[in-house]
Amino acid sequence: MKKGIITLLLASFVMTQITPVACFAVGDKNEAKKVSISKSHKQRAKNDSFKYEYINYKWWDNFNDPILTGYIDKAIQNNFDLKMATNAVDEYYQAIKINFANQLPSATVGFNTAYAKLPNASGDFNFVTPAFASYELDLFLKNRDKTSMSKKDYEASLQDERAAYIGIASAVGATYLNIVKLDKMIELQEEIVQDRKVIYELMLARNKEGLTSTSDTVKANKSYIAGNTELTEYKKNRSKLLHQLAVLIGENPNNIDKLTRTSYDELNFSGVIPTEISTEVIAARPDYIKAEKLVEKAGLDVRVAKKEFLPTFNINGIALLMANDIGSAWSTGNALAALAGGLNLPLFTGGRRLANLRLKKSTYERILNNYYKTNLTSIQEVNDALVTIKLDEEKYQDIKKQADLEREDFGYSNDKFDAGIISKLDLTQVKENVLYTDKTLVNNKVNCLVNYIGLYKATGSKL
């Protein structure tokens, strides 16, 4: 009997690693396919296609700009915020394994030398092999609930990761488009500055001939300097955005001269923007799903707090093998073994368990209210994005008509100049009006494109 107990205890040290097998749905909600967390997590290491699924990579093809999609691809591979988000998922996965390990027996074994007097032993110097095993019998499934809580954290971390990928892709797209916009604004502003320089030189010449007052000449000079100042501001903003883009795609900001982009005139979005969004899309947002998972976790936390009032059952075993020579160190001739079980129930903890239960209940209510708030915020952000797109599009169309009229007016003024009716100074001033309207048109067109990205982000990339 003694040999059998010792053999059983020692066998407990040789254990195959067991991983959690709880399941959760992946991909579209309509898919019936389910995989274990363990299998799903291992697939992530082999294939990173999930990153492109996060951001709905095909949607970005609607911009018809391989340079833009190339930058998004670089961000997916190199952005450090995204790498940290993926590291966080790995951390939560290991937390699941740690909590699951608490559901299994634990065992330790050692090897020591000792000086001891033993019956039937020929020497006093001995080799000692102690072994200990313990197991908490999870009758009330408290440890299993703790493992389930860690799984909820893991699932929430997946949504944090997904939100990070959507956010970085949106930031790359918006930053890139604003750089293209500033390229065009700088081009137009340089033309305005050149025209203002011409105006100033003409007025300076007229002032010398007594045809223009000194006050008007000074105003023309001020306008020329102000144009240069505005041009400098545009260049500064473009450099800052280029630095931001470099960081987003994981490159050195010192190399912004290597960051290519398309021209403003080549911008062409061919996608269809919906006028309304289904509530199912809103419910698929990463922050919405995360809030849902945290509510589920908080509910489990309350359940665990209640189970703290219940007794715990423990089984403990010990084996001690001793011999006075290394050859018989693991024989059972001088072995001691014991196996015991016990029940523990704390009678007085100073109100700690009751306070902990109340704490967990309050936490649950707070997280539940955050879930409700997230629901309302999600609807608000989608509605805001839809309204912004609609009204900015109307504004853009009006400005486009105004720009056409300004060009038509400039055409008439050009005819008058050719006929000698107006001076070059008057023609140049009319041309500046055209350039200013073009700048407004450029700004509003790119704003509309950025608005599309805003809706893409508000819907969790589900466009």
Question: Angle of helix 352-418 relative to helix 424-458, nearest 10 degrees?
Answer: 150
- Mean pLDDT for 355-384 is 96
> What backbone phi and psi angles, to 5 degrees, belong to 131?
-140, 135
Q: Check residues 326 and 146 and name the one with the higher pLDDT.
A: 146
Residues 6+ apart with CB under 8 A from 247: 253
- Position 253 confidence tier, pLDDT thresholds 50, 70, 90: very high
The CA-CA-CA angle for residues 296, 297, 300, to 5°, reads 90
Q: What's the pLDDT at 389?
A: 97
pLDDT digits 0-9 by tens, 110-123: 877 766 565 555 55
Length of the chain: 463
Q: What's the pLDDT at 426?
A: 87
Share of the chain above pLDDT 70, in %: 87
Q: Check residues 451 and 137 and name the one with the higher pLDDT.
A: 451
What is the rounded average pLDDT for all residues in the chain?
A: 87
pLDDT over threshold 60, residue 214:
yes
pLDDT digits 0-9 by tens, 332-344: 666 778 888 888 8
pLDDT over threshold 70, residue 287:
yes
CB 265 within 8 A of CB 320: no
Nearest to 461 by CA among 156, 169, 102: 169
pLDDT over threshold 70, residue 371:
yes
Q: What's the pLDDT at 332?
A: 64
> CA-to-CA distance for 159 and 461, rounded, in angstroms?
13
pLDDT digits 0-9 by tens, 40-72: 888 888 888 999 999 999 999 999 999 999 999
- Mean pLDDT for 423-442 is 92
> CA-to-CA distance for 183 and 168, rounded, in angstroms?
22
Domains and CATH numbers, the chain: 48-103+138-310+345-458 (1.20.1600.10)
> What backbone phi and psi angles, to 5 degrees, belong to 206?
-65, -35
- Mean pLDDT for 271-288 is 92
pLDDT digits 0-9 by tens, 230-242: 999 999 999 999 9
pLDDT over threshold 50, residue 29:
no
